[in-house]
Amino acid sequence: MADNLPTEFDVIIIGTGLPESILAAACSRNGQRVLHVDSRSYYGGNWASFSFSGLLSWLKEYQQNNDIGEESTVAWQDLIHETEEAITLRKKDETIQHTEAFCYASQDVEDNVEEIGALQKNPSSGVSSTFTEVLDSACLPEENQSSYFNSDEMPAKHTQKSDREISLEVTDVEESVEKEKYCGGKTCIHTVSDKDGVKDESKSTVEDNANQPNRNRITYSKIVKEGRRFNIDLVSKLLYSQGSLIDLLIKSDVSRYVEFKNVTRILAFREGKVEQVPCSRADVFNSKELTMVEKRILMKFLTFCLEYEQHPDEYQAFRQCSFSEYLKIKKLTPNLQHFVLHSIAMTSESSCTTIDGLNATKNFLQCLGRFGNTPFLFPLYGQGEIPQCFCRMCAVFGGIYCLRHKVQCFVVDKESGRCKAIIDHFGQRINAKYFIVEDSYLSEETCLNVQYKQISRAVLITDKSILKTDSDQQTSILIVPPAEPGASAVRVTELCSSTMTCMKDTYLVHLTCSSSKTAREDLESVVEKLFTLYSDTEINKEELTKPRLLWALYFNMRDSSGISRSSYNGLPSNVYVCSGPDCGLGNEHAVKQAETLFQEIFPSEEFCPPPPNPEDIIFDGDDKQPEVPGTNNAIIAKLESSEESKNLENPEKHLQN
């Protein structure tokens, strides 16, 4: 039971996002006693991945989080001594806003599916019911008490298997066929109807099949039935093949817990159409989009970028100008300027300096060829796997995990100003030397002077790729330039079913940009450029070449990166803050933050050192397993199952192309 937790730890970490999970693994690996808690019922925080029904449950949780008062918890005031004071933590997560979900796929009447908890379709009504009723059938299991476990009890979301060995369960949760819309604190559902009026459902089904015999018809009920095949990320990220996260995964041997797919294509959006960007030397000279002169100019420029620091006379005079101006000075054609700026450097046209652009281009080129023809990798089953992998490493070395476990306050000694303990929702006081907390848990009083940025996100389910090729298993990244000067470019990541993030014959598409308005206002225009609504295909036959949009979700996420410690009010010296996801493509900020905080706390310790070789560990007796540790300076070896007790493989072997 969670109310019987030990009362003494070295480090208590609140939140299971990526930087917190890396820190937990690093601390545990260095022999620290770690307690890692999260008030949520899942790992990862805003870095998490969900099945389709799980994502709907997540939406419902946020709706309840805003509408329902906080449940009563054990009073903590009596546990504070006269020489102490309390710093309360936030009771509600307010990092997600402006959530709007839309379903465009129709119900297949031949399925004759009776949906659990869903409402009957009523085209004549504008508003059918509340969001809560629709999502009742997709709720996450509710538990009154939190659970905790250590190394042997650490759950794994997925076991290590190859693509051919993966067997995914088919969900029995079925949702509404209505068009869902959630705005602010109020939620409603609107029926999807055709532009020229309401048609007979069976008639539209026949017409749809007749007009489009060559395209698989994906219905909403089919998406729900195959919902367990989806792993939908809250934050869209890729891993640079030479980036700090890949290096950390290999160094710490956490890479054995996760597998990757290579991103197969870099795309560009130019003059209203999507094109493939040549990256490698072979791609450049095989490209049909470039003339022979452009190919030579591009190769010469990319070669210079790889070693630009050795030729300062080529760029020193242009340090103050923008990278886009520098590309013009270097006499790149408009076509090449677009490719380099938006698809290789992936930088802003207005705010990126020459040095930043050259650095970004060099980083892109250095990552080419390590694991494939593009610089990027994507983890199978989604970004949410990465925090869980580090949590598993922490648990292997004795860390204790506790989900659905809320922390009410920090206990601070008045004389020293240092934090001594936390008090949880059971009223248990747990002492520690150091405390690490994710920004979203800090109270409004603590964050009074903090200015947050926002990230606009969209998650789409579509029926085909935005750039069709012979292979239907393409993983692509596309940067859509801003329509207006000063606006943010939109990053589009398209995932196929072989990434284990969506069902067969569908694609999962993530859109991300810095927020200027609500997510829907920021991203809807890009969605309309790239996709056509499923319900409009019978009328707009000329748009059948574009992928059909089946389902869409828009939301804004808080970006707490780049906030200095001094911005927080009254933070004790031994309490350290981790930020949530940033808007960048890679994970470098999270890794750098975790390493910096670890070195502040333990300056003489190595950050995430390689684990010991199992063959070098000596047990006390041939047939005797080691006893459960009582101290924090012993390395515990666990006898694993026959599959997991094989000799450790080369970590790079798991980074598959």
Same domain, 432 and 570: yes
Residue 228 class from Cβ within 10 Å (0-12 exposed, 13-18 middle, 19+ buried)? middle
Residue 314 resides in a domain? yes
Model confidence over 442-470: pLDDT tens digits?
999 999 989 999 999 999 999 999 998 87
Tokens, residue 511: 């859109």
Higher pLDDT, 187 or 572: 572
Same domain, 587 and 443: yes
- pLDDT band of residue 617 (cuts 50, 70, 90) is low
Task: Tell me the mean pLDDT in the region 635-651.
Answer: 38
Residue 300 resides in a domain? yes
Q: Which residues contact 320 (CB under 8 A, 6 or more apart)?
A: 353, 354
pLDDT of the residue at 618: 63
Model confidence over 274-331: pLDDT tens digits?
988 887 777 777 777 788 898 889 889 999 999 998 888 888 888 888 898 999 988 8
Same domain, 439 and 306: no
Chain-centre distance for alpha carbon 635: 32
Task: Tell me the mean pLDDT in the region 420-447.
Answer: 94
Task: Tell me the mean pLDDT in the region 352-367.
Answer: 91
Residue 650 resides in a domain? no
Alpha-carbon span 513 to 457, nearest angstrom: 7
Same domain, 304 and 432: no
Residue 70 resides in a domain? yes
Lowest mean pLDDT among 119-133, 139-153, 340-354: 119-133
pLDDT of the residue at 616: 66
Alpha-carbon span 408 to 89, nearest angstrom: 6
Tokens, residue 116: 């659990």
Same domain, 286 and 359: yes
Same domain, 288 and 360: yes
DSSP per-residue codes, 221-265: HHHHHTGGG--EESS---EETTSHHHHHHHHHTGGGG--EEE--E
Task: Tell me the mean pLDDT in the region 547-570.
Answer: 93
- pLDDT band of residue 651 (cuts 50, 70, 90) is very low
User: What is the 3-state secondary structure of 540-606?
Assistant: CHHHCCCCEEEEEEEEEEEECCCCCHHHCCCCCCCEEEECCCCCCCCCHHHHHHHHHHHHHHCCCCC
370 three-state secondary structure: coil
Task: Tell me the mean pLDDT in the region 110-136.
Answer: 36
pLDDT of the residue at 130: 33
pLDDT of the residue at 319: 82
Q: What percent of the chain has pLDDT over 90?
A: 51
E strands, 120-214, are 147-149, 179-183, 186-190
Amino acid at 237: K
pLDDT of the residue at 643: 42
Measured CA to CA in angstroms, residue 293 lies from 109, 300, 335, 382, 542 at distances of 56, 11, 12, 40, 35
User: Looking at residue 342, which CATH number applies to its domain?
Assistant: 1.10.405.10
Query: Where on the phi/psi map is residue 72: left (φ > 0), alpha (ψ -120 to 50), or beta?
Result: beta
Statement: residue 128 has pLDDT above 80 = no
Same domain, 318 and 391: no
Residue 116 resides in a domain? no
435 three-state secondary structure: strand
pLDDT of the residue at 620: 55
Statement: residue 568 has pLDDT above 70 = yes
Task: Tell me the mean pLDDT in the region 204-211.
Answer: 41
Residue 13 resides in a domain? yes
- Supply the mean pLDDT for the chain: 78
- pLDDT band of residue 655 (cuts 50, 70, 90) is very low
> Cβ(385)–Cβ(18) under 8 Å?
no
Model confidence over 2-38: pLDDT tens digits?
457 899 999 999 999 999 999 999 999 999 999 999 9
Neighbours of 168 (CB within 10 A): 15
Model confidence over 580-607: pLDDT tens digits?
999 999 999 999 999 999 999 999 999 9
DSSP 8-state symbol, 372: S
Task: Tell me the mean pLDDT in the region 239-252.
Answer: 95
Statement: residue 217 has pLDDT above 70 = yes
Same domain, 304 and 431: no
Q: Which residues contact 219 (CB under 8 A, 6 or more apart)?
A: 105, 106, 107, 108, 111
DSSP 8-state symbol, 439: G
- pLDDT band of residue 641 (cuts 50, 70, 90) is very low
Model confidence over 88-105: pLDDT tens digits?
999 888 999 999 999 998
Statement: residue 126 has pLDDT above 70 = no
Can you count the helices (H) and strands (E) in the chain? 14, 26
pLDDT of the residue at 66: 56
Same domain, 300 and 439: no
pLDDT of the residue at 538: 55
Q: Which of 582, 601, 620 represents a domain boundary (last residue)?
A: 601
Same domain, 287 and 345: yes
494 three-state secondary structure: strand
- Structural domain containing residue 354: 280-367
Q: Within the chain, what is the greatest distance between any pair of CA atoms?
A: 80
User: Looking at residue 409, which CATH number applies to its domain?
Assistant: 3.50.50.60
Measured CA to CA in angstroms, residue 621 lies from 358, 359, 398, 561, 636 at distances of 59, 55, 21, 50, 14
Paired residues of 69 in beta bridges: none
Lowest mean pLDDT among 125-139, 342-356, 445-459, 556-570: 125-139
pLDDT of the residue at 471: 81
Residue 220 resides in a domain? no
Higher pLDDT, 72 or 535: 535
Residue 14 resides in a domain? yes
Task: Tell me the mean pLDDT in the region 348-375.
Answer: 88
Model confidence over 496-519: pLDDT tens digits?
999 999 999 999 999 999 999 999
Model confidence over 143-190: pLDDT tens digits?
333 333 343 344 444 433 333 333 323 233 333 333 344 344 333 334
Paired residues of 421 in beta bridges: 411, 431
Same domain, 15 and 85: yes
pLDDT of the residue at 529: 93
Statement: residue 391 has pLDDT above 90 = yes
C-alpha radius of gyration, the chain, whole number: 26
> Cβ(486)–Cβ(516) under 8 Å?
no
Phi, psi dihedral angles at 403 (to 5 degrees): -90, 165
Alpha-carbon span 246 to 376, nearest angstrom: 10
Q: Which of 583, 601, 619 represents a domain boundary (last residue)?
A: 601
Phi, psi dihedral angles at 493 (to 5 degrees): -115, 125
- pLDDT band of residue 621 (cuts 50, 70, 90) is low
Same domain, 444 and 297: no
Place of tokens 């047939």: 623
Number of domains in the chain: 2
